[in-house]
Each structure stands twice: as structure tokens, then as C-alpha cells.
């Protein structure tokens, strides 16, 4: 019998109601609990939001404070210009006496003999040759385009320079940089320092150059600081070379304080010129003259002229120097202290006339012809035995420049021999050495020898062979050279 059969209808109904109530509670419990939880969360959230006070962002106060800028006096700008504090506080000790210096560094420049003067000359044909004054400092003017990378490349190709020769130049410049004194000089000597600076300038280096900028900057500063006003710096050799370098530096950079030093230097040279147009040791005004000393003064005058010197007496001094140099010529050669007869200084006379606008005069032409007939052999001997350079090196600098200005087949013949000889005999470190009067196994001697060799290998782009300083080649309007277009093309 089923248990339901024992229950009456009322009991069954109560059981069913109880069961349904239980089912309802079980099914509604979950939703109710969930609802309550959500309500609680909403209440908590609303309390948090309402309870937290609103914070306003305060306005930003901006104040502009003007910084006082102090202007540098114009005088100081002209004195320091682009030179920074990397140059040591050094005041070069300048000896200004009437007696020849006994400094060992000057031995190479002393008067030894007629044919082999102990000077450091041959500053090669200063590249400045074509100049149009410009006002922007540290920007190489177009007429110095031969010293730019593009200009050098074109000049080397046109005039026969080769990669080996220019590699030798770069090695020489790096060696010179490595032996520069901390004060910016070389051997604390204006002649050595001027020659070294000329090597860097010839290569197109300025204070803005990446590799050699500091070297050039310190050198210019040292030379400018040491250039005396109204007196000569050590001997006439040293003063002429230092003035030469400063004039070229100003021509390439237009830095005002360099110009001031150049003008001081050139005035001393003009004041020290003899009545007949020549020069002697310590700018003496006696009867004796010295072509080796004079060569440096003439190169300095030429550099100052093309760099825009304002000295009103410079033109007249150049004319006097031309007459003097012509009078030093006799029978194909130029003389040391009397007309004719000097092997080492015939190039000095020929080049000086070329640079001063007398390229085609009989004396310049005759000197070049003699050089070609009598001097090329010394290069051929030195290629095999460098000791043969001892007595010839000083004169080679002038010879190479003079024949370069001559150009044509004469230059082609000369170029094939001189370039090969110098390249072959360079020390692997970068210097050249001789046992003669202008060099030796010491740093000072090597600086002189190295600058002479380096300047020869830079002859291709230092001076364009079309340069002529004579008045006929200048056009007054805008200060432009009549042959400027040709110079720029070359």
C-alpha cells in the first residue's frame, strides 16, 4: 500500500504547500543575495564619491624674469675674436736688439756664406696671391679656393700633384702638430712658428678646421701677441717670416686682431728698408744688403698687399724692392750681397720678382733658365743620397716655386723629379732631416727642414701661376682683380 493512501486530502495539501515553499526559497536565495551584495556595493561607492570633497586645481602663476645680458666691449672682441681660453697665458720673450741672436734655434738663420745662407727663407709663393677683401671672419674667400678640398683636387690634377705627395704633406702637418709647444709656438721662435703656420694655411687650415683648428688658432694667437709695435721681433729673418705668416692668416680669416699685428709687422719692414730697396740683418741701413734677408721681407710685403693692408707706403716699398732685386742680377744669377753669383739665392731673386708683378722681366726669366740648367741635378742626386740635400735644401724652396710660376714644359720636367725626391726621403714619422745648416737631429732643426719640404709639396694650390700683383691687374671698382674669373676657373 502506498503511504499516500494513509493520508487524507488535507494532509496531502499541506505537504504540497510546504514543498513548494521550500523550492521557492531555494530558487530565490541566490538572486536575493546577489541583489543585496550589489546594493551594498552601490551604497559604498556612492558614499565614497559624495564624501570626497572636490579639489579645484589652483591657477598656475607664471612670472617672466629678464636676464641681464652684458655686452662684451668691442675692443675685447677685436683682441680675442675667435680665440678661446685654450691658449695658455704666455707672453713670448721677445729679444729686440741690434746684435744677432745667439739662440741655438736661430743658428739656422745666421749669416754663414754667400751661397748657403743660414736663413729660413723660401716661404714659397704665398698663396694669397689673388685677393679680394672680404668682411666675414673665418670664411675663406673665393680667391683662396685653391686651398679648399675641391680647389686642391683640381689644382693637383691640373699641375701634376699626386696622392703620395699629399699623403706626405698630411704626415708632415700631423708631425708638426705633435711638436707644437703648449703656448702655440714651435721652438718658441717666430721664424720656426711662422714657417709652420704657413704650412697649415697653405693646406687650407683655419681655426675652424676639424683636425688642425686648435693648432692654427694657438699659432695665430702666439704670433699676434708677440708682434711688437715699432720694433722688430728678434732678427730681420724672424720678423719677416712672422709678418708673412700673419699677413696670410689675415687674408684667409679677416680676424681683426690678426690684422693689427700684420700692420705692425709690415710697418717695421717698411721702416727698415734701405734707400735702394733692399734689406740687411736687423734692418741696418748701411751699404751692405742681403738678398736672403730681403726675400722674406718681399714675401711679407706681397702677402700684406694682397691681404688688404692699409699702409699707404706699401706700394712704394714694393716698387723699390723690385728695382733692388733687378740690380742684384748679373749674368743669369742673383747675388747674395753683391750682384750675381749665388746658386742658392737665384731662386729667391726670380721668385721675388714673379710675386711682385715682374714675372716676364729679363731678370726673372734669366734666373729661371739658369735654375733649370743648373739646379735640377741636385734633386736627382738627393733622390739617391739625401745628404746631397744639405747644401741645396734652402734654395730648392725658391727654385720649385719659381719654376712652378713659369709653368709649361719646364714645370713638367721639374715636377717629375722634385716631388719623387721629397716623398722618398721623408721619415716615416713625418719629418725631413738634414745635417746641414738649416736642420739637424733635433726638433727645432727638423721643424725648419720639414716646413721647407712641406711647402714645396703644397706649391700646386698655394699660388695660382696666373697671379700678378702689378697695378695693371687691379680694377678699382669693387676691388676685384681683372683676371679673377680665370683664377677662379683654375
With beta carbons less than 8 A apart as the criterion, state whether 206 and 213 touch: yes
More confidently predicted of 405 and 42: 405
**132-135-141 Cα angle (round to 5):** 45
Q: Is 259 a residue whose pLDDT tops 80?
A: yes
Cell numbers standing for residue 194: 711662422
Using CA atoms, how far apart are residues 333 and 329, in angstroms rounded to an integer? Answer: 6
pLDDT in tens, 383-408: 999 999 998 999 999 999 999 999 99
More confidently predicted of 438 and 18: 438
Using CA atoms, how far apart are residues 33 and 355, in angstroms rounded to an integer? Answer: 112
10 Å CB burial of residue 268 (0-12, 13-18, 19+) is buried
Residue 444: per-residue pLDDT: 95
Average pLDDT of span 465-478: 49
Is residue 124 very low, low, confident or very high in pLDDT (cuts 50, 70, 90)?
Answer: very low
Q: List the chain domain ranges.
A: 120-489
Q: Is 155 a residue whose pLDDT tops 70?
A: yes
Average pLDDT for the chain:
79
Using CA atoms, how far apart are residues 327 and 330, in angstroms rounded to an integer? Answer: 8
Average pLDDT of span 463-471: 66
For residue 389, what is the DSSP state?
G
pLDDT in tens, 89-119: 333 333 333 333 333 333 334 332 333 333 3
Q: Is 190 a residue whose pLDDT tops 50?
A: yes
Put simply, whether the predicted model's pTM sits higher than 0.85 gets the answer no
Q: Is 135 a residue whose pLDDT tops 60?
A: no
CATH number of 120-489: 1.50.10.20
Percent of the chain with pLDDT over 70: 68
Instruction: Concatenate the DSSP letters of all residues of 167-236 into one string.
Output: HHHHHHHHHHHHT--TTS-STT-HHHHHHHHHHHHHTT--TT-TTTHHHHHHHHHHHHHH--SSS-SSSH
Amino acid at each position: 500500500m502506498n503511504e499516500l493512501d494513509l493520508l487524507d486530502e488535507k494532509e496531502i495539501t499541506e505537504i504540497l504547500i510546504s514543498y513548494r515553499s521550500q523550492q521557492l526559497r531555494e530558487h530565490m536565495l541566490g538572486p536575493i543575495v546577489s541583489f543585496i551584495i550589489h546594493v551594498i556595493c552601490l551604497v559604498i561607492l556612492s558614499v565614497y564619491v559624495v564624501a570626497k570633497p572636490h579639489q579645484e586645481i589652483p591657477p598656475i602663476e607664471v612670472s617672466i624674469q629678464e636676464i641681464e645680458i652684458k655686452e662684451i666691449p668691442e675692443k675685447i672682441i677685436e683682441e680675442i675674436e675667435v680665440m678661446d681660453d685654450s691658449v695658455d697665458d704666455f707672453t713670448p720673450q721677445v729679444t729686440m736688439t741690434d746684435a744677432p741672436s745667439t739662440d741655438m734655434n736661430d743658428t739656422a738663420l745666421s749669416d754663414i756664406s754667400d751661397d748657403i745662407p743660414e736663413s729660413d727663407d723660401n716661404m714659397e709663393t704665398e698663396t694669397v696671391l689673388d685677393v679680394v677683401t672680404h668682411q666675414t671672419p673665418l670664411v675663406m674667400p673665393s680667391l683662396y679656393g685653391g686651398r679648399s678640398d675641391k680647389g686642391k683636387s683640381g689644382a693637383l690634377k691640373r699641375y701634376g700633384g699626386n696622392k703620395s705627395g699629399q699623403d706626405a704633406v698630411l704626415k708632415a702637418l700631423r708631425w708638426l702638430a705633435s711638436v707644437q709647444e703648449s703656448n702655440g709656438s714651435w721652438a718658441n721662435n717666430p721664424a720656426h712658428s711662422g714657417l709652420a703656420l704657413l704650412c697649415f694655411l697653405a693646406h687650407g687650415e683655419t681655426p675652424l678646421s676639424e683636425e688642425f683648428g686648435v693648432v692654427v688658432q694657438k699659432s695665430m694667437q702666439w704670433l699676434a701677441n708677440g708682434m711688437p709695435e715699432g720694433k722688430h721681433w728678434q732678427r730681420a729673418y724672424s720678423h719677416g717670416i712672422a709678418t708673412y705668416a700673419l699677413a696670410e692668416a689675415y687674408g684667409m680669416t679677416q680676424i681683426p686682431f690678426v690684422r693689427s699685428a700684420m700692420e705692425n709687422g709690415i710697418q717695421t719692414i717698411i721702416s727698415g728698408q734701405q734707400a735702394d730697396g733692399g734689406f740687411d740683418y736687423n734692418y741696418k741701413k748701411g751699404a751692405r744688403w742681403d738678398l736672403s734677408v730681403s726675400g722674406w721681407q718681399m714675401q711679407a710685403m706681397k702677402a700684406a698687399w694682397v691681404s688688404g693692408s692699409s699702409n699707404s707706403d706699401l706700394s712704394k716699398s714694393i716698387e723699390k724692392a723690385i728695382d733692388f732685386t733687378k740690380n742684384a742680377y748679373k749674368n743669369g744669377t742673383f747675388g747674395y750681397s753683391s750682384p750675381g753669383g749665388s746658386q742658392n739665392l737665384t731662386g729667391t731673386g726670380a721668385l721675388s720678382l714673379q710675386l711682385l708683378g715682374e714675372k716676364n722681366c729679363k731678370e726673372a726669366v734669366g734666373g729661371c733658365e739658369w735654375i733649370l740648367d743648373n739646379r735640377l741635378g741636385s734633386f736627382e742626386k738627393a733622390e739617391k743620397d739625401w745628404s746631397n740635400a744639405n747644401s741645396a735644401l734652402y734654395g730648392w724652396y725658391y727654385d720649385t716655386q719659381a719654376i712652378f710660376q713659369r709653368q709649361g714644359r719646364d714645370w713638367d720636367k721639374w715636377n717629375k723629379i722634385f716631388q719623387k725626391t721629397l716623398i722618398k726621403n721623408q721619415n716615416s714619422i713625418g719629418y725631413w732631416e738634414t745635417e746641414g745648416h738649416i736642420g739637424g737631429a733635433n726638433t727645432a732643426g727638423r721643424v725648419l727642414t720639414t716646413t721647407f719640404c712641406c711647402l714645396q709639396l703644397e706649391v700646386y694650390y698655394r699660388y695660382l701661376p696666373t697671379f700678378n700683383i702689378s697695378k695693371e691687374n687691379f680694377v678699382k671698382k669693387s676691388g676685384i682683380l681683372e683676371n679673377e674669373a680665370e683664377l677662379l676657373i683654375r
